Amino acid sequence: MPMDLTCFLIDDDQDDHEIFAMALESVDKNYNCITAVNGQDALEKLNTDKTFIPDFIFLDLNMPVMNGKQFLQEIKNLTLPHSIPVVIYTTSSFQKDIEETKKLGASHFLVKPSSIEELSGKLSLLFQNQAVSYLI
């Protein structure tokens, strides 16, 4: 694991931004969280700053303007390294969403936990063992 890990959280809920940042900091204070409010905002950030290459992308499915599935389709057109894991980070636990997002290129599926402590534990597990793909 790199010392300074950068996570790119794409989620329209400001409360989720704060919760994710707190959980990430509890895993390691050197980890950074950059946010976008929807898929279009995220694509603009990735296209504008070519030096911005996150270690992980955390993607909500239900957002206005451009949702998570649309973003997964569009990110294929960027010149980002394809090795960046895209983690679906959503309240949905529907098997259909899991299957569709995997087909679209997501590497992990994380259902939003109910507490910061639980999220911290799942993030820690994910960062230690990227092979874990289903973290409900």
CATH of the domain at 33: 3.40.50.2300
- What is the C-alpha to C-alpha distance for residues 83 and 47, in angstroms, rounded to an integer? 17
User: Structural domain of residue 11, as residue ranges?
Assistant: 6-135
pLDDT in tens, 27-65: 999 999 999 999 999 999 999 998 999 999 999 999 999
pTM for the model stands at 0.91
Amino acid symbol at 85: P
- What is the C-alpha to C-alpha distance for residues 89 and 112, in angstroms, rounded to an integer? 6
Residue 87 in any domain: the answer is yes
Considering its fold, how many domains does the chain have in total? 1
pLDDT in tens, 89-103: 999 999 999 999 999
* Residue 1 pLDDT level (bands cut at 50, 70, 90): very low
